[in-house]
Amino acid sequence: MATAQALVNGFNNLKTLPHVEIRLTKLITDENSTLQEFEKVISVDPTLVLRLLAVVNSSYYGLQQKVSNISRAVIFIGIKNLRNMVITEAIKAIFKPSKDDDTFSRSNLWLHCAAVSICSKMISERIFEQKGEDAFLCGILHDIGMIVEDQVAQNLFVQTCKACKKKSRPIVECEQEFIGTDHCETGYMLARDWKLPFEVQEGIKDHHKALKKVSPSSITGIIQIADYIVSKMNYSAMPGMDGMVLSPSLSDHIRENIAEYKAIIRDIPGEMLGAKEVYEL
């Protein structure tokens, strides 16, 4: 992955996550962390404080009494949701300042990543009855490697996109041919540098791989399923990328639970509206 690391090293639009997020990540992984420590970290960022209080007092949570205390706000939102909010806010800007055209649109990519993140969270919670915060995080970041490629190796990336669209070849195959790596490897390296959870890193790295063994309830399995579903719903990252190939075990899993997945597909637009209020997707 030497080429992927070189791209990450040259990625100067967002050299690292904000210091606040890095410190929050450390607190999340430390079982002995206290709410007071979280409050201390959050309070140094006035913008984050305002955003946090605005979210917890929004109609999405529907609290009867207004919350003005950081610790109480963290309790209502949850620590991992707070982390996701900070990361989403940090990366959102890099999806916007770009000339969108028929070859590649950062705006479309952002919509795709938002849809995958929402769908992943729904699958995690509804199908597998497990917390969906890490699935959401992996979904919002799974294609960030494309942004790195577009910024650091733009000419090669444009050729890649054109080849993918013209020849209807898998995007990762075209990336390997023109760039020498792909957005999965690049995104994985970035997530590793940011010290995100291991399962999130693996989900980013493997979301385009047809794996012989992958658990549907794993982050990797959930991201593959969500990516497949939203691409079929016209939330594709770009033309030519709606032909996702699922790992065989995941195809079998969907068929066995088709009624539940149809319900998720029906509810995705409404869930995205709700997430827009919390994450400003």
Per-residue pLDDT of 224-237, as tens digits, reads 999 999 988 878 77
Q: In Å, what is the CA distance from 81 to each residue of 55, 87, 132, 215, 220?
A: 11, 10, 9, 24, 20
| CB-CB contact of 136 with 197 (8 Å) | no
Nearest Cα to 54, choosing from 38, 45, 66, 39?
A: 66
Provide the residue ranges of all domains of the chain, joining segments of one domain with +.
Answer: 16-77, 94-279
Give the residue, 26 or 4, on which the prediction is more confident.
4
* Element counts in the chain: helices (H) and strands (E): 16, 0
Q: How does pLDDT run across 213-264, given as a tens digit for each residue?
A: 899 999 999 999 999 999 888 787 776 565 567 888 999 999 999 999 999 9
With 90 as the cut, is the pLDDT of residue 55 above it? no
- Listed as own residue / partner, the contacts of 187-191 with beta carbons closer than 8 Å and 24 or more positions apart are 187/141, 187/142, 187/143, 187/144, 187/145, 187/148, 188/1, 188/4, 188/145, 189/1, 189/4, 189/5, 189/7, 189/8, 190/8, 190/11, 190/144, 190/145, 190/148, 191/141
Q: Give pLDDT, residue 280.
A: 62
Mean pLDDT of the chain: 84
Query: In the structure, what pLDDT confidence band is assigned to residue 177 with cuts at 50, 70 and 90?
Result: very high
What percentage of the chain has pLDDT greater than the value 70? 89
Highest mean predicted confidence (pLDDT) among 104-108, 159-163, 238-242: 159-163
Higher local confidence (pLDDT), 204 or 61: 204
Mean pLDDT on 143-166: 89
**For domain 94-279, is the CATH number 1.10.3210.10?**
yes
pTM (predicted TM-score):
0.85
pLDDT value at residue 242: 57
Structure confidence at residue 116 (pLDDT): 94
Specify the range with the lowest mean pLDDT, choosing from 38-47, 177-186, 212-221: 38-47
Instruction: Give me the pLDDT at residue 184, please.
Output: 95
pLDDT at 240: 58
Mean pLDDT of 150-172: 86
